[in-house]
Amino acid sequence: MKHATSNVIKGQRARKALLKGINTVADAVKGTLGPQARTAVIARGDLPPLVLNDGVSIVNAVYSDMPEVQVGIQLIQEVAKQAQKASGDGTTTATIIAQGLCNAAFDLIEQGLSPVEAFNQIDQMSKHTISAIKANTIPISTKDLESLKYVASIAANNDSELGDMIAEIFYKKGDECSITLEPSFDGKTGYKIVDGFEMPSGLVSPMFAKNGECVLENPVIVITKETISDFEDITPALQIAVEESRPILFVVENIKGVALSNLLVNSIKGIVNAAVVRVAGYGEYKDEWFEDLGLLADCHVFSGIGTDSVSHIEKDAGHFGSVRRVTATSNSTTIVGSSAAEHEAMPERIATKVYGPDGLVQQREEAEHTFDKEKLSQRIARFDGGICSIQVGGMTDLEATERRERIDDAINATKLAIKGGVCVGGGLTLRYHATDTTSSILAQGMDAPFYVLFENADMSPNDMWGGPLNPTVGINFKTMQKQDLLKAGVLDPTDVVINSLTVAVSIAKLILLTDTIILPKAEL
How does the average pLDDT of the chain come out, rounded? Answer: 86
| Sign of the CA dihedral running 505, 506, 509, 515 | negative
Reply yes or no on whether the pLDDT at 129 is more than 60.
Answer: yes
How far from 223 is each of 249, 258, 400, CA to CA, in Å?
8, 19, 39
| Encoded amino acid at 483, one letter | Q
CB atoms within 10 A of CB 136: 14
Mean local confidence (pLDDT), 465-481 = 83
- Spatial neighbors of 31 by CB under 8 A, at least 6 apart, are 37, 38, 40, 456
- DSSP E strands in 349-445: the ranges are 386-392, 422-424
How far from 353 is each of 343, 363, 380, 387, 412, CA to CA, in Å?
16, 11, 9, 18, 25
- Spatial neighbors of 336 by CB under 8 A, at least 6 apart, are 195, 196, 323, 324, 325, 326, 327
What's the topology of domain 145-196+385-420? GROEL; domain 2 (3.30.260)
> Which long-range contacts does 312-319 make (Cβ < 8 Å, 24+ apart)?
312/236, 313/222, 313/236, 313/237, 313/240, 315/240, 315/243, 319/222
Condensed to tens digits (0 to 9), the pLDDT of residues 85-100 reads 776 678 889 999 999 9
Condensed to tens digits (0 to 9), the pLDDT of residues 151-164 reads 999 888 888 999 99
Domain spanning 8-138+424-518: CATH superfamily: GroEL-like equatorial domain (1.10.560.10)
The pLDDT-based confidence of 49 (bands split at 50, 70, 90) is confident
> Which long-range contacts does 133-136 make (Cβ < 8 Å, 24+ apart)?
133/423, 133/429, 133/433, 133/494, 133/497, 133/498, 133/501, 134/494, 134/498, 136/423, 136/429, 136/471
How far from 253 is each of 90, 200, 228, 266, 517, CA to CA, in Å?
42, 14, 8, 21, 55
Percent of the chain at pLDDT > 70 equals 93
Q: Which of 11-15, 42-46, 277-281, 434-438: highest mean pLDDT?
A: 277-281
Condensed to tens digits (0 to 9), the pLDDT of residues 486-524 reads 999 999 999 999 999 998 998 888 888 888 888 887 654
Residue 390, SS3 per DSSP? strand
The pLDDT-based confidence of 347 (bands split at 50, 70, 90) is low
**Are 297 and 268 contacting, i.e. CB atoms less than 8 angstroms apart?**
no
Residue 37, SS3 per DSSP? coil
145-196+385-420 and 8-138+424-518 share a CATH fold: no
How far from 294 is each of 279, 301, 323, CA to CA, in Å?
12, 6, 11
Q: Which of 176, 223, 220, 218 is nearest to 199 (CA)?
A: 223
Reply yes or no on whether the pLDDT at 127 is more than 50.
Answer: yes
Reply yes or no on whether the pLDDT at 393 is more than 80.
Answer: yes
Helix (H), strand (E), coil (C) string for 146-212: HHHHHHHHHHCCCCHHHHHHHHHHHHHHCCCCEEEEEECCCCCCEEEEEECEEECCCECCHHHCECC
Reply yes or no on whether the pLDDT at 485 is more than 50.
Answer: yes
Give residue 107's Cα distance to chain centre.
38
Distance in angstroms (rounded) separating the CA atoms of residues 338 and 317: 18
Distance in angstroms (rounded) separating the CA atoms of residues 77 and 309: 53
**Are 298 and 304 contacting, i.e. CB atoms less than 8 angstroms apart?**
no
CB atoms within 10 A of CB 368: 8
How far from 388 is each of 122, 296, 391, CA to CA, in Å?
43, 18, 10
| Encoded amino acid at 149, one letter | K
- Tell me the chain's radius of gyration from C-alpha atoms: 29
On whether the 198-343 domain is CATH 3.50.7.10, my answer is: yes
CA atoms within 13 A on the CB side of 309: 16
Reply yes or no on whether the pLDDT at 370 is more than 50.
Answer: yes
- Kindly report the pTM of this predicted structure: 0.69
Mean local confidence (pLDDT), 391-415 = 87
Q: Which of 105, 111, 106, 96 is nearest to 125 (CA)?
A: 105
Report domain extents, the chain.
8-138+424-518, 145-196+385-420, 198-343
Give residue 96's Cα distance to chain centre.
22
Distance in angstroms (rounded) separating the CA atoms of residues 315 and 201: 27
Distance in angstroms (rounded) separating the CA atoms of residues 290 and 510: 47
Which of the two residues, 385 and 492, has the higher pLDDT score?
492
Distance in angstroms (rounded) separating the CA atoms of residues 259 and 276: 11
Q: How confident is the model at residue 1, as a pLDDT?
A: 45
